[in-house]
Amino acid sequence: MRSDRVGVLRLPYHYAPTTGGELMDLLIQIIFGLISALVIGAAMMVVTMRNVIHSALWLIASFFGVAALYLLMEAEFIAVVQVLVYVGAISILILFAIMLTRSNEGDRLFTTYWWTSGLIALGLFGAVLVPTLAGTIWNLPQPTGPAGAPEVLSGVEELGRGFVSEFVLHFEIAGVLLTVALIGAIVIAFEERSRRRRVLTLAEELELRKRQQASEHSAVAAADSVD
């Protein structure tokens, strides 16, 4: 919530006792390194894989790594939401989109001007990265232990308060936007039932045969009664 926290890796000192604190630090550094390697490695695999589905699966692995990083920073709520939204919903959406659209596996869709798009992407990335690199204080003093009670960042409560007070407009705009998207999707995908072309199911064919027999039967009966 507060800006002075952004970008600082807060180590979980709740569990660090007075003895063995350095070892705990080392352990956390190692875990942090491993998870970051996973995130970056998986992200690399996403863009280098030739099979789109493999890319999507690596993307999911990368999402997981990011959730683990959040967990390491004791941002439990953000970590769980990362898993719920990105792994549970977005990735499924991506997989569905890939599977339901035409596959162009193996095609390398390079035009002659591919390097311009590369330059644009690099420029945009640089525009984000350079100010961040320049503006970050790199030699942060290591926190040396629990200085008083650790500040509790109770994610859910503060986030909920923020949504209904400070950021209520952002929250509502996002809500309206999503609703519009939902209705739009329905309008695009809607197909009037009576206009739908379809094949008869087995049950319907049976029903049809029954009706035909019944109509023949009634026709015969009508003919009989006329006689």
Partner 1 sequence: MHDVINHLINTVFGLGWPGWAISLIAYLLIATILFMIVPFQMLFLTYFERRAIARMQDRVGPNRVGPEGIFQPVADGVKMFTKEDIVPDAADKWVHLIGPGIVVAPTMFMFAVLPWGPGMVPFDMNIGLLFFFAISSVSAVGLMASGWASNNKFALLGAMRAVAQMVSYEIPAVLSLLAIVLVTGSLSIVDLITFQSGLFISSSDVPGIPDFGLGWFVFTPVGFLAFIAFFIAALAEGERTPFDIPEADSEIVAGYMTEYSGMKFGLFYLAQYVLNFLLCAITAIIFFGGWQGPGVGWLYAQAITPANPAGNGLFNVLAGVLGVFYFLAKTYFFFFVMVWVRGAYARLRIDQLMDFGWKLLIPLTLVNVVSAAIWVGLTKWGAADGLAFVEGWAPLMRWAVAFVITLVMNLVAYFFLVRVYSQSQDERARLDDEVLERLTNVA
Which residues of this protein are in contact with partner 1, per CB under 8 A? 15-17, 19-20, 23-24, 51, 53-54, 57, 60, 76-77, 80-81, 83-84, 87-89, 91-92, 95-96, 99, 154-156, 193-194, 196, 198, 200, 204, 207-208, 211-212, 215
Give Cα 5 to chain centroid, integer Å: 25
Nearest distance, CB of residue 194 and partner 1, angstroms: 6
Rounded to whole angstroms, how far apart are CA atoms 73 and 12? 7
Tell me whether residue 166 or residue 204 sits nearer to partner 1 (CB atom).
204
Phi-psi group of 35: left, alpha or beta (phi > 0 → left; psi -120 to 50 → alpha; rest → beta)? alpha
Tell me whether residue 4 or residue 191 sits nearer to partner 1 (CB atom).
191
Phi-psi group of 83: left, alpha or beta (phi > 0 → left; psi -120 to 50 → alpha; rest → beta)? alpha
DSSP code for 194: G
Tell me whether residue 172 or residue 207 sits nearer to partner 1 (CB atom).
207
Nearest distance, CB of residue 57 and partner 1, angstroms: 6
Contact between 83 and 67 (Cβ < 8 Å) = yes
Nearest distance, CB of residue 17 and partner 1, angstroms: 4
Nearest distance, CB of residue 15 and partner 1, angstroms: 6
Residue type, 51: N
Q: What is the rounded end-to-end Cα distance, in angstroms, of the chain? A: 91
Tell me whether residue 46 or residue 87 sits nearer to partner 1 (CB atom).
87
